[in-house]
Amino acid sequence: MNDGGVIELRTAIEPYISLSEEEWMLLSSRLEVKSLQKGSLLLHEGEVCRFLAFLRSGTVVYYYLNDRGEEVTTDFAFENQFVTDNRSRLSNSPSHLNIKAIEPVDLILLHEPDLNELYRLLPKMERVGRILIEQAYVRLVQLSLDLQILSAEERYLKLTREYPQALQRLPLYHIATYLGVAPKSLSRIRGKLS
C-alpha cells in the first residue's frame, strides 16, 4: 500500500502508540484500501463483521430494518473515524446491523485475521484495539443514556453541538431515527429552534 493511504491512519493511531518505520511497514502491508459508492453496503445484516475500517473520506450510517422494513439509524461515522460492528466481530456472530455509505467513501480495511496477527507481532497494537473498544463502549452507553434521559429537543441540540456536520451530511430521515423521533417530529423541533 502506498504511503498516501496510511498517512491519515497513522495520524489517528499516533496519539496512542509510537511505531517505528519498520513496524509501520508491517502494519501497512496488512491494509486494504477500498472505495464504496453512495448507497453501497460495507456490512450486511446477517453477516459476521470481520474487519476494522478507518474512514478516510465520506460518511456511513449503521442501521437495521424495523418490522415495517424502514431503516432505523443507530450510529454514523465521518472521515477519520473507525468503523466496525464490535458485537459481531468480537463474538464472531451475525450482525444485526447494516453499514451503508451515504456518500462516496474511501476506507482502509484491516481484516480480522490480519488484526489478530498484528496483535501478536506488534503488541503495541493491542493498546490501540483496547482504546478503540473503550471509546466505542463509552459512546454506546452515552447514546443509550441520552435516549432515556434527554428530551428529543435536547438530543437534537446535543447532536448539533457535537456533530455539526451531521446536519449537512446526513439525510433528515437518518437524523430523526438516530434521535429516536419521527421525521415529522424532527421537522417540528427544527422549526421551533430556528
Residue 34 to residue 16: CA distance in whole angstroms: 25
- The SS3 call for residue 3 is helix
CATH numbers and ranges of domains, the chain: 3-120 (2.60.120.10)
Which DSSP string corresponds to 133-186?
HHHHHHHHHHHHHHHHHS-HHHHHHHHHHH-HHHHHHS-HHHHHHHHTS-HHHH
pLDDT value for 74: 95
Residue 29 to residue 192: CA distance in whole angstroms: 52
pLDDT value for 191: 87
Residue with cell 500500500: 1
Residue 4 to residue 146: CA distance in whole angstroms: 38
pLDDT value for 193: 85
Bridge partners, residue 106, by sequence: 35, 57
- By CB neighbour count within 10 A (0-12 exposed, 13-18 middle, 19+ buried), where does 184 fall? exposed
Per-residue pLDDT in tens (0 to 9) along the chain, 194 residues: 555 567 889 999 999 999 999 999 999 999 999 999 999 999 999 999 999 999 999 999 999 999 999 999 999 999 999 999 999 999 999 999 999 999 999 999 999 999 999 999 999 999 999 999 999 999 999 999 999 999 999 999 999 999 999 999 999 999 999 999 998 999 999 888 88
Q: In angstroms, what CA-CA distances link 152 with 67, 178, 188?
A: 23, 11, 11
C-alpha cell at 151: 428530551
Residue 119 to residue 9: CA distance in whole angstroms: 17
Tally: H helices and E strands in the chain: 9, 8
Q: In angstroms, what CA-CA distances link 61 with 119, 149, 159, 177?
A: 28, 23, 15, 11
The model carries a pTM of 0.91
pLDDT value for 114: 96
